[in-house]
Amino acid sequence: MNLKEIQRPIEHLLNETDRLLKERVKSNIPLINTINEVAPISKGKKIRSTLLFLLAGMNDSLAPWLAEIAASIEMFHLSSLIHDDVVDNSELRRGEQTLHNNLGNNLSVMWGDFLFISAFNALNNMNKKYLMDITLDAARLMVEGQIIELGNVNNFTVDHDTYYDIITKKTSSLFAAVTQIAGAVNDESLEVQKKYYQFGLDFGIIFQVSDDMLDIFSEISGKDRFSDLKEGKITLPYILLLKECKKDIIPYLSEKDGEKLLDFFEEYNIKETTMKEIVEYHNRALDFLNDFPDSIYKESILNLLEFVKYRDY
């Protein structure tokens, strides 16, 4: 099932999220309009918004005003991507030239700041303290994850635990914020909200490990293939391969020659081993969902899990 089909039950809310995003960046400043032409804010898969709406539908708290939260989450997420691309000097994002490649680092950083501030300003105006508490905590964790990652660039001895610490903070924390918010809007207890939060962490790990696999094994991911290696990021597939044949592959890692590593990945079944780790988190996520009655929203979340687990772009 493709993403559009998965999103059909909440398509109207995603459309409203798009409308809000476009409205929030309208400006009399010509340069801001130029940025919007180069990198339209409403682009993207909106998986985080999808997760928010589907969970809210699943617990009977779906409401039109959730689109305001979703728009802020998307702005916050986009701001983090823009900053990441500058830090990593990435050339491609979603199959297209990154913003900093088009408009330069200075303007890209400022635009990321603008989106970040606008997102939190909108959340603050909703007068729901838990929204600020949850999202600010995610923001702190995301920056921590980025710092830890930068501290391990070109570190061929980075271990399993450090990798998971990085992706849990840098990627999963925002997913977890979204899922906790879905529990909070339904007035769930803090104990129950923690279960929503853990589901988001598990979902985010599935998403990121899958993304790290795509960087190596897919030619249609919309990213420059082997971009992680070129940026000095030693992700899970490389960590697993290093355990098997470190001496053989260090020269290729040092040269950032991913193509020459493909035979090693195949010989040691690294793709399959990585997928086994994804399956562990997938099963944990399913355990959370099993507590909810069947509905169109639950069906879509189950399909979303499969989409993220097996996606090829």
pLDDT of residue 44: 86
Comparing 42-46, 201-205, 243-247, 300-304, the range with the smallest average pLDDT is: 42-46
pLDDT of residue 77: 96
Phi-psi region of 232 (alpha: psi -120 to 50; beta: other; left: phi over 0): left
Q: Percent of the chain at pLDDT above 70?
A: 97
pLDDT(223) > 70: no
Map out the domains of the chain with their CATH numbers: 3-310 (1.10.600.10)
Provide the β-strand partners of residue 274.
none
CA distance 80 to 248: 36
pLDDT, average across residues 66-76: 98
pLDDT of residue 92: 65
| Better-scored residue on pLDDT, 8 or 100 | 8
pLDDT(222) > 60: no
Provide the β-strand partners of residue 92.
97
pLDDT, average across residues 235-240: 98
The pLDDT tens digits of the residues spanning 16-62 come to 999 999 999 988 999 888 888 877 787 789 999 999 999 999 999 99
Mean pLDDT of the chain: 93
**DSSP labels for 27-94?**
-S-HHHHHHHHHS-TT-S--HHHHHHHHHHHHTT---TTHHHHHHHHHHHHHHHHHHHHHHHT-SEET
Identify which of 72, 73, 63 has the alpha carbon closest to the alpha carbon of residue 24.
72
| Better-scored residue on pLDDT, 227 or 96 | 227
The pLDDT tens digits of the residues spanning 81-112 come to 988 888 877 776 666 778 787 778 888 899 89
User: The pTM is what?
Assistant: 0.95
| Better-scored residue on pLDDT, 134 or 84 | 134
The pLDDT tens digits of the residues spanning 188-213 come to 999 999 999 999 999 999 999 999 99
Provide the greatest CA pair distance for the chain. 58
Q: Are 51 and 175 in contact (CB under 8 A)?
A: yes
Amino acid in position 202: D
pLDDT(220) > 70: no
Task: Name residue, tokens 């639950």.
Answer: 298
pLDDT of residue 58: 97
